[in-house]
Structure 1
């Protein structure tokens, strides 16, 4: 089942942002990921949104996400961004298989 990495990014140093993006993107592709959303500026319609950039990356499964995140390549990217790029990141499983139902709500 596919799994997703959802990322909020706030670049404080544009040069570091470009360097991070190059290394991070290659690490994602090398681990079977593909970018679904990579917009420069999200458009909030409800609530508040603190970051300037938003990404959704699809991987074949949660195991591949963890392999990517713990890889030497992505560790290098994290070192590049340290103190120069703020990142909020979460991992999420994909949609449940067909036939799956949620419990009834009262």
Structure 2
């Protein structure tokens, strides 16, 4: 079943973050993922959303592949390039089965 990784983080644009983005993108593609939204500023219809935060939605073939990507040496190396990940929120969720 398709699975999704949903991440929210404070928007920053500097060399460290640009390096992370490229390494993360390569690792996602290598593990069968694809971006559905990347660096998007959501329009909050209910609740609050900080205008300084962005959202990423990544689709993987299944939850096992998403977790494999997250714990992979490639993504571990990408995360190591960032010093500001403490405030980020990342969620893993299974897709809808249609039942």
What's 1:62 paired with?
63
What's 1:47 paired with?
47
Structure 2 gap ranges (5+): none
What's 2:72 paired with?
71
1:44-85 deviation line (CA, Å, top 9, x unaligned): 222112352111100000000111000011001111112367
Structure 1 stretches of 4+ moved >3 Å: none
Query: CA–CA distance in 2 between the matches of 1:17 and 1:24?
Result: 10
Q: Which moved more, 1:56-65 or 1:35-44?
A: 35-44
**1:81/1:11 Cα in 2 relative to 1: closer, same or farther (>3 Å)?**
farther
Question: TM-score under structure 1 normalisation?
Answer: 0.81
What's 1:7 paired with?
7
Question: TM-score under structure 2 normalisation?
Answer: 0.87
What's 1:89 paired with?
90
Q: Which moved more, 1:6-15 or 1:16-25?
A: 6-15
Structure 1 gap ranges (5+): 101-106
State yes or no: 1:17 paired with 2:17.
yes
Structure (1 or 2) with the larger CA radius of gyration: 1
Q: Which moved more, 1:52-61 or 1:33-42?
A: 33-42
Query: CA–CA distance in 2 between the matches of 1:80 and 1:25?
Result: 13
